[in-house]
Structure 1
């Protein structure tokens, strides 16, 4: 039996965020046999979740298999929690981590379930937690997963990383079931880089699909996108097996090939000619991450031309056609 299989799970799990992914992960914890409380933003969501066992605003048509304990009161949701899943957008991490820290015991694991970099500081989300909630212990859940699939109980595998391997094992055991398989890891940086950059690259791939530039271009962009993700990860000390694993290559392949991804769908809208301001980018994490990722890579001396092209298109400094011409006109070089 693996170390994760022998680990003692946390029994009381708080989920902060009542959107599609927060609800899906609350279901994951309940299916694993945990006691779950969910913190939602509004009374309508709480009523739907706790009385009717549904979340029509975020998971329409998906039965949740019974009511979920939900509340708008942070103190109630976080009371006696052994572990907390933070499932709100990446740019809210600082504020939400501070809120959580005020209601949990020191040393409580805080599992980050958003994918991105903080826009104002350029920090990894685990670094944000280190500043905003230093008494909490950061962990990261990432990998190829769509909320609707997870909520329906379809088979899903993800990476769950913490710097302490025993903590990663315990968190994995906390959420594991026959439908949901977390692989424990200790490469906190590598898992976060994969999650943050793949959102930006998914916008580029969606734009290629929306433009009708063909499957060959899409495959090339995905492969070269992975190359820049790997370059950045390696510069930061990420492990190669993390970058080629579920939270790196696995998540990239899923997000860069399906309109279920908000980032890919946003890119498709851009490719079809919609104005960036009107194409639904508010919910696409890659929109907020693109320019930050480019600056982050520059600080570490890493070229990320595809991410830079996405940032330029979003800022309307260049057209999609101009971005393609720029990428195709880069100096010839050996692939490896």
Structure 2
């Protein structure tokens, strides 16, 4: 079988390594922390991120990046998005042009405003690339609960090869050629999930969260189309699918951080209490700056940015959203609708 190197041993990287190992693949799983590596080797459990889940013996845990990368057919990138450039640059000397890069991180780089595919193309211009995304909490995938995701690549053969690699009886994989749309869906839904969490933290109800999710999906699609994505992608697994699961589940770090902020915690305290990377916080900054760059109206994103980065009172943000000028809903929902009243 193909050899797979998994760079990043957080909850998602560990869950995918378990998934692939159960299919018979031998997986090298790379982590930086030697103490965590020793613990996993001893207990066969990633106690910090996936307590109670046994890691099969054909998952080899290591901090040797060269070993993880060398002689592999597939290299999976599962570090937080802000660490992708660093780890690819560090590992570039070991990566060959015939190795497939599969990214599972969801975010947008703050400094460059690049998606991960754009970073990979800049650092590894000769390598094929695919992106795996969709509604997929690691805690459920690791426990073999039914999950459906999407893989995007500009090359159909690469997409289908990746689909076959990850497809399992309880892990269904669809394909999509819209790389930028799938990437932006996975990244931007974290921003809206922060907002949904803030709403919960404030004590607002289901009506409020439903409105945030629905109007948030419109914002995601607006920016996605402006940046070259397909509108329809945001109605699929990487868009509305991932948005639903991230805004409604307590597995979601973004929602949990939002709840704490809504309850009055500082941003720093919220991050500390969640105890893991909250991708939506960095992505909010990138999304806000992209909305300015592309002149896209994103009121929810703008208010969340003001709350996170300008210490704006969250209740004032809600008032601002509710008192915006009246609009016709269908002008946002349909791209080709000729409204004639």
Check whether TM > 0.5. yes
Q: Is the 8 A contact 1:49 1:67 kept in 2?
A: no
Do residues 190 (structure 1) and 184 (structure 2) align? Answer: no
Deviation at 1:33, TM superposition (A): 2.3
SS at match of 1:279: helix
Do residues 41 (structure 1) and 32 (structure 2) align? Answer: yes
Deviation at 1:93, TM superposition (A): 0.9
Q: Is the 8 A contact 2:104 2:133 kept in 1?
A: yes
Residues 67, 169 of structure 1: alpha-carbon distance in 2 compared, 3 angstrom cutoff: closer
Distance in 1 between residues matched to 2:311 and 2:42, nearest whole Å = 49
Residues 118-142 of structure 1: CA distance to partner in whole angstroms, max 9, x if unpaired?
A: 0111111111111122232222111
Structure 1 equivalent of residue 334 of structure 2: none
Do residues 128 (structure 1) and 128 (structure 2) align? Answer: no
Do residues 308 (structure 1) and 302 (structure 2) align? Answer: yes
Choose which of 307, 316, 323 in structure 2 pairs with 1:329.
Answer: 323
Distance in 2 between residues matched to 1:114 and 1:220, nearest whole Å = 27
Do residues 53 (structure 1) and 47 (structure 2) align? Answer: no
Do residues 320 (structure 1) and 311 (structure 2) align? Answer: no
Distance in 2 between residues matched to 1:319 and 1:107, nearest whole Å = 51
Q: Is the 8 A contact 2:131 2:153 kept in 1?
A: yes
Structure 2 equivalent of residue 276 of structure 1: 267
Distance in 2 between residues matched to 1:40 and 1:65, nearest whole Å = 16
RMSD between aligned residues: 1.5
TM-score by length of 2: 0.92
Deviation at 1:66, TM superposition (A): 4.1
Structure 2 equivalent of residue 4 of structure 1: none
**1:82-93 equivalent positions in 2, closer than 5 A:** 82-93=73-84
Do residues 252 (structure 1) and 246 (structure 2) align? Answer: no
63-72 vs 37-46, which moves further: 63-72
SS at match of 1:332: coil
212-221 vs 34-43, which moves further: 34-43
Structure 1 equivalent of residue 293 of structure 2: 299
**1:17-32 equivalent positions in 2, closer than 5 A:** 17-32=8-23
Choose which of 281, 295, 299 in structure 2 pairs with 1:287.
Answer: 281
In structure 1, stretches of 5+ residues that fail to align are 1-9
Distance in 2 between residues matched to 1:131 and 1:91, nearest whole Å = 15
Do residues 176 (structure 1) and 167 (structure 2) align? Answer: yes
Deviation at 1:51, TM superposition (A): 4.1
Distance in 1 between residues matched to 2:291 and 2:24, nearest whole Å = 41
SS at match of 2:248: coil
Distance in 1 between residues matched to 2:277 and 2:300, nearest whole Å = 21
Do residues 212 (structure 1) and 206 (structure 2) align? Answer: no
Distance in 1 between residues matched to 2:41 and 2:75, nearest whole Å = 19
Structure 2 equivalent of residue 6 of structure 1: none
Q: Is the 8 A contact 1:101 1:133 kept in 2?
A: yes
Q: Is the 8 A contact 1:141 1:160 kept in 2?
A: yes
Distance in 2 between residues matched to 1:169 and 1:65, nearest whole Å = 26
Residues 272, 116 of structure 1: alpha-carbon distance in 2 compared, 3 angstrom cutoff: same
Distance in 1 between residues matched to 2:151 and 2:39, nearest whole Å = 29
In structure 2, stretches of 5+ residues that fail to align are 331-341
Do residues 107 (structure 1) and 98 (structure 2) align? Answer: yes
